[in-house]
Every structure is written in structure tokens, then in C-alpha cells.
């Protein structure tokens, strides 16, 4: 969905008056760069026999063992064991991985092109994502290799919740990124589809944009020129 520069665009931008100071752009993954389908994931886990997966799986922040995977306090083996216990018999870990990654659809080529274009223009690009090792390795192998490159070729820094032991929307994950990279929030635009994530970032002084799923937000960079 592309809202262009319509009246729907402006309310989702915070601190737009000084966006010409932007030097760094921080992208979320799911719902911003990668299209997802929550229902596909829930249906896949139900087919495995997992009861009420919707209690645990959410587009923005997980619960239970799924949250533990995202904040790095659990490993994939803990998920496999949990699913098998809930189902009542051993479940092939590969089937669990497949069900979990059904959440993800694809990253459009035009968004990969956008990332490369923004880097050529001199912006520093960061990734800040609530994710887990199972999903991220699938993303690394299957999505960011489409143009013959690696995920590291699209970003200057990559910050992943399971490695940082923190999750959005906790302020601490943003503060850790700031401390590690020496960025200035006043010179940084965060693009995220999670309302709570956007709110936290805004309170810390970031410029923010709340993306909608499947949205083509490239016009954001044309409507509000961002100069390094």
C-alpha cells in the first residue's frame, strides 16, 4: 500500500520539522522491510497440534518461549521441547522451524534497491529487530541473498534482540544501540510498524515513522528530503 504524500502520511511522522538533519535511518524488519502473514504461522502451528498458538505469537512482541527466543534467554531446543510437550509427542525440529518461518513472506526487490540507494546517498543504515536465531538465519539465507549480496551489504550496523538480550519496546534496547553506535537520536529516523516501538523511540528523541504492512514508503524520502 502506498500512501504517497496524502493526508495519511504526515500524522505517522514525528518531529518532521527538522527531518533534514537525518544522518542515520533505523529499519525494523517484519512489517517494514519484510512482508509477513501471521495467520500462515498460526495455522502451521495448529497443524502441528500446538493448542492456541495465538496466545504466544504476535506481530510485535511474543510471549512465553517465543519471547524467550527473542530476548535470547532460550535456545531453539527449548522451543522444540515446548512444542513436543504441548503436542504430546516428539515433533521434528525442522517442522517447528518451518511453521515459525511461515510468518515471513518476502522482502520486495524494490526495498532492497531502496536500501542500496540510501547507502549510496551517504546515509548510515541500521537494522533493529525483535527476532530470533531461527527466523533470522532463514531471512539471511533466503531473502537478503536475492540480489547476490548478503544482509551485511545492506546495513552499516545490525542489532538483533536475541543477541542484545533485550526486546522492543523496552527503552533499554534503544539506549544500548545508541551507546554502541554513538548515533544521535536527533539525527536518526526510526521506521517501525509497532506503535509501542515508535512511541518509545520518540520519547528518546528519535524521529519516527510508523509503517503499515505492505506499505511502499519510498515517497517518505522524497516528501521530506533527508540530507546527510
Residue pLDDT, tens place only, 112-155:
999 999 999 889 999 999 999 999 999 999 999 999 999 999 99
Which pLDDT score, from 0 to 100, does residue 21 have?
81
Q: What are the domain boundaries of the chain?
A: 10-35+106-223, 38-101
pLDDT band at 217 (very low <50, low <70, confident <90, very high): very high
Give the whole-angstrom CA distance, residue 102 versus residue 39: 9
Tell whether the model's pLDDT for residue 8 goes beyond 60. no
How far apart (Å, rounded) are the C-alpha atoms in residues 177 and 159? Answer: 7
CATH 3.40.50.1000 fits 10-35+106-223, yes or no: yes
pLDDT band for 168, please (50, 70, 90 cuts). Answer: very high
Active site residue 193: no
More confidently predicted of 109 and 6: 109
Higher per-residue confidence, 2 vs 29:
29
Catalytic residue among 28, 37, 43, 58: 28
Contact 121, 30 (CB under 8 A): no
Tens digits of residue pLDDT in 174-206:
999 999 998 999 999 999 999 999 999 999 999
Give the torsion sign (CA, 41, 47, 51, 52). Answer: positive
Q: Which fold has domain 38-101?
A: DNA polymerase; domain 1 (1.10.150)
Which percentage of the chain shows pLDDT scores above 90?
82
Identify which has the larger pLDDT, 26 or 224.
Answer: 26
Confidence of residue 18 (pLDDT cuts 50, 70, 90): very low
Q: Say what the pLDDT of residue 14 is.
A: 52
Model pTM score: 0.89
Amino acid at each position: 500500500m502506498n500512501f504517497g504524500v496524502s493526508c495519511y502520511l504526515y500524522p505517522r511522522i514525528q518531529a518532521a520539522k527538522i527531518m533534514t538533519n537525518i544522518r542515520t535511518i533505523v529499519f525494523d524488519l517484519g512489517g517494514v522491510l519484510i512482508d509477513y502473514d501471521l495467520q500462515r504461522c498460526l495455522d502451521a502451528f495448529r497443524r502441528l497440534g500446538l493448542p492456541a498458538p495465538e496466545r504466544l505469537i504476535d506481530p510485535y512482541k511474543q510471549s512465553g518461549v517465543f519471547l524467550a527466543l527473542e530476548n535470547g534467554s532460550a535456545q531453539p531446543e527449548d522451543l522444540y521441547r515446548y512444542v513436543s510437550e504441548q503436542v504430546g509427542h516428539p515433533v521434528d525440529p525442522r517442522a517447528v522451524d518451518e511453521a515459525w518461518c511461515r510468518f515471513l513472506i518476502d522482502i520486495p526487490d524494490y526495498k532492497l534497491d531502496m536500501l542500496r540507494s540510501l547507502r549510496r546517498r551517504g546515509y548510515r543504515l541500521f537494522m533493529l529487530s525483535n527476532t530470533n536465531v531461527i527466523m533470522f538465519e532463514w531471512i539471511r539465507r533466503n531473502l537478503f541473498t536475492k540480489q547476490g549480496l548478503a544482509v551485511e551489504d545492506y546495513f552499516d550496523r545490525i542489532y538483533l534482540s536475541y543477541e542484545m538480550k533485550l526486546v522492543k519496546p523496552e527503552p533499554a534496547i534503544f539506549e544500548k544501540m545508541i551507546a554502541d553506535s554513538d548515533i544521535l537520536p536527533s539525527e536518526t529516523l526510526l521506521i517501525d510498524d509497532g506503535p509501542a516501538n515508535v512511541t518509545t523511540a520518540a520519547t528518546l528523541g528519535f524521529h519516527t515513522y510508523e509503517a503499515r504492512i505492505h506499505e511502499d514508503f519510498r515517497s517518505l524520502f522524497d516528501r521530506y528530503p533527508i540530507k546527510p
